[in-house]
Structure 1
Amino acid sequence: MHIVYVSDGKAGHRSQAVGLYKAMQRQSADEVTFEEVSIDQLPVFSLFLAIFKKSIVALKQPPDYIFGVGSHTQFRALLLGQIYPEAKTIILMKPNFPVTWFDYAIIPEHDSVEASEHVITTQGALNPIVNEQRHQPNRFLIALGGSSKRHQWNEAKVLDAIQQIVNLHPQAEIILTTSRRTPKEFLAHLNEKSFKSQLKIFPVEKTPQGWIFEEMQKAEAVWVTEDSVSMIFEALTAGCQVGIIEIDRLKSDRITQLLDQLLTQALLGENKVKLLNLQLDEATRVAHILLKT
């Protein structure tokens, strides 16, 4: 079984495609191969010409599945589906075209598209994480984001939340990491706090690729600032309890509504820190549906 992924080069989009591929690989009795092809290698005019030839030189072998994630990949995925009509076209997002044009659209529930013959809805975007059952009691991770198009960083709220976590777990090993959006001055201000001595701090600049996913596998619980929605779902998929650190919102939209929905499902501890305890394995569930059909 051969999967061709039409890539726009964005890491978040690739993570979704790889997550589904890995899940299909785990479940399939056949060998599953994965080929990533950049949109730059797939000019639209060349794809139109290739429809008549029923093949294209950019691909190593004919695909059984064609994945697309991102607006610029959708039309190319559709054209590849015309070149290779035996292949199933899978778009991992709410498409700009009618969903019936694809074999399947994998769409997060917060995009408000109803499940149907061509639509599989998911809790959050897919990711390549699996729960490896390696979580260590009393080991916690705090992952900080920053300002975004819908959130404004609030240092006071973040420091208060960190102090609450430390006070609640005085004997725990608590690891804290930042992101590239975390304000540069934040760690200097954190270092001035008395509770800093109970934290092991790893700035994002000093963490290798894949570090945070490994930490999720070892953590009993992960606290994430609410701007980092993908990381919330990654931590849930890793099997962690997940706390959401609230910061200021600039606007209300489908993502903030999703956060509110998640927060209503959270357990409220004595210190007002909210924890989610959802069991997610969406890539595996979607892969099962695709392989069954």
Structure 2
Amino acid sequence: MPQANHAKPLSICFVHDDRIGHQKQLRGLENQLMKRALCTTHWVDQQSVALLNHALRFDICIGAGHKTHWPLWRLARRHRAFSVVLMTPSLPMFLFDAVICPRHDDPKASSRVFVTKGPINTIQHLTTPDRKPYENAPDRSPQHNLILLGGPSKHFNWSSERILTTVKQLVRHDTDLPWLLSPSRRTPDTTIERIKAELPRLRFLSANHDLDQAIHRAKQVWVSADSSNMIYEALSAAKPTGVIELATRHKLFRKNRLRNELERLYRENHVMRLADLSPESDINNRQQTGLHEAERATEWLLMRYETWRSKHEGQDV
């Protein structure tokens, strides 16, 4: 594992918006940077960048979300800092020194672009990419099966009936461990009420539960098709991951990039459908190596930063 070599800690500023998903991506990158480099971190809302103490000096500025792009660019320029964007920027790509984005964004090939399978997340891995356990990894033997629900989205047609039917089939298929269900803020109340009425023994997780922990303690994780971030969190935790299918919203003259990415995950055998289950199938036979995208992206970012720093050391950037 490469370690950045600096006489003093790297000063890193994370520019965020109000979206939890974007903040989780930044937090996942921060976790890995702190494992691999001596650094101090500072977080600032995109609306407050101009109010930052001018005595602060940053080596690297990182942002996620379209609202952060202009403030991030101005901040990096002011500090002569290395600029990093998570996801495809709304500004011309050449304005930033590094771009880390998921492949479903279909980014153009470039030396400044690193492509990941799905967005970065905060899942802490228990094994290395070659399936060796990390030292002092906690015991997280399976305690339950887990269902994660999203809600109406611009990519999929939400159907309470379809969700209910699938949940009932899953609960009937595997009775070895209890089933837990975690709705999101987008999940319609009508969907939750119908599931509770027809499956009164199904346990619902509270809104403030630790989702990362629930994923780690799951034997298997099933996620509604609209919730791509949660699909990748389950895959990052190396859990057998199923997708609760929903009908795609048809877009004239536009590709449904999330549907296309799901199909790619099916072809790569990363995820399964309900149709893949049979009375004889054993979920334990599905071996998952897990996705280590935050680690891969961090190693690439530090190497690119070192190249950039060597080139610009002693110069005005």
Please classify the TM superposition score into its range, dividing by the shorter chain length.
Answer: 0.7 to 0.9
Instruction: Return the alpha-carbon distance in structure 2 between the equivalents of residues 196 and 109 of structure 1.
Output: 40
Q: How many angstroms does 1:80 deviate by?
A: 2.0
Partner of 1:220: 219
Describe the SS at the equivalent of 1:227: coil
Instruction: Return the alpha-carbon distance in structure 2 between the equivalents of residues 182 and 92 of structure 1.
Output: 26
Residues 31-42 of structure 1: matches in 2 within 5 Å?
A: 32-42=39-49
Q: How many angstroms does 1:273 deviate by?
A: 11
Partner of 2:263: 260
- The one-letter code sitting in structure 2 at the alignment partner of 1:63 is F
Moved more, 170-179 or 272-281: 272-281
Q: Quick check: 1:73 aligned with 2:64?
A: no
| Residue number among 14, 17, 41 corresponding to 1:5 in the alignment | 14
**In 2 relative to 1, CA 151–278 (structure 1 residues): closer, same or farther, beyond 3 Å?**
farther
Partner of 1:207: 207
Partner of 1:172: 177
The one-character-per-residue Cα deviations of 1:20-45 (angstroms, maximum 9, x if unpaired) are 111111122x2x221112222234xx
> Where does the alignment leave 5 or more consecutive residues of structure 1 unmatched?
44-55
Q: How many angstroms does 1:180 deviate by?
A: 1.9
Instruction: Return the alpha-carbon distance in structure 1 between the equivalents of residues 55 and 278 of structure 2.
Output: 57
- The one-letter code sitting in structure 2 at the alignment partner of 1:42 is V
- The one-letter code sitting in structure 1 at the alignment partner of 2:207 is T
Contact 1:140/1:220 (8 A) holds in 2: yes
Partner of 1:288: 299
Q: How many angstroms does 1:276 deviate by?
A: 8.9
Q: Percent identity?
A: 28
Contact 2:164/2:194 (8 A) holds in 1: no
Describe the SS at the equivalent of 2:189: coil
| Residue number among 54, 58, 72 corresponding to 2:53 in the alignment | 58
Q: How many angstroms does 1:224 deviate by?
A: 0.6
> Where does the alignment leave 5 or more consecutive residues of structure 2 unmatched?
1-9, 127-136, 305-317
**In 2 relative to 1, CA 157–105 (structure 1 residues): closer, same or farther, beyond 3 Å?**
same
Instruction: Return the alpha-carbon distance in structure 2 between the equivalents of residues 123 and 173 of structure 1.
Output: 30
Q: How many angstroms does 1:109 deviate by?
A: 0.5
Instruction: Return the alpha-carbon distance in structure 2 between the equivalents of residues 207 and 60 of structure 1.
Output: 39
Partner of 1:235: 234
- The one-letter code sitting in structure 2 at the alignment partner of 1:9 is D
Partner of 1:270: 278
How many matched pairs? 272
- The one-letter code sitting in structure 2 at the alignment partner of 1:136 is S
- The one-letter code sitting in structure 2 at the alignment partner of 1:78 is W
Instruction: Return the alpha-carbon distance in structure 1 between the equivalents of residues 233 and 66 of structure 2.
Output: 23
Could you tell me the TM-score, scaled by structure 2's length?
A: 0.78
**In 2 relative to 1, CA 77–60 (structure 1 residues): closer, same or farther, beyond 3 Å?**
same
**In 2 relative to 1, CA 130–57 (structure 1 residues): closer, same or farther, beyond 3 Å?**
closer
Instruction: Return the alpha-carbon distance in structure 2 between the equivalents of residues 236 and 113 of structure 1.
Output: 22
The one-character-per-residue Cα deviations of 1:122-149 (angstroms, maximum 9, x if unpaired) are 1111112212464433621111122112
Instruction: Return the alpha-carbon distance in structure 1 between the equivalents of residues 261 and 76 of structure 2.
Output: 33
Residues 86-105 of structure 1: matches in 2 within 5 Å?
A: 87-105=81-99
**In 2 relative to 1, CA 173–17 (structure 1 residues): closer, same or farther, beyond 3 Å?**
same
Q: How many angstroms does 1:8 deviate by?
A: 2.1
Could you tell me the TM-score, scaled by structure 1's length?
A: 0.84
The one-character-per-residue Cα deviations of 1:57-90 (angstroms, maximum 9, x if unpaired) are 53562111100112222122222222222x2100
- The one-letter code sitting in structure 2 at the alignment partner of 1:242 is T
Q: Quick check: 1:142 aligned with 2:147?
A: yes
- The one-letter code sitting in structure 2 at the alignment partner of 1:22 is N
Instruction: Return the alpha-carbon distance in structure 2 between the equivalents of residues 59 and 234 of structure 1.
Output: 37
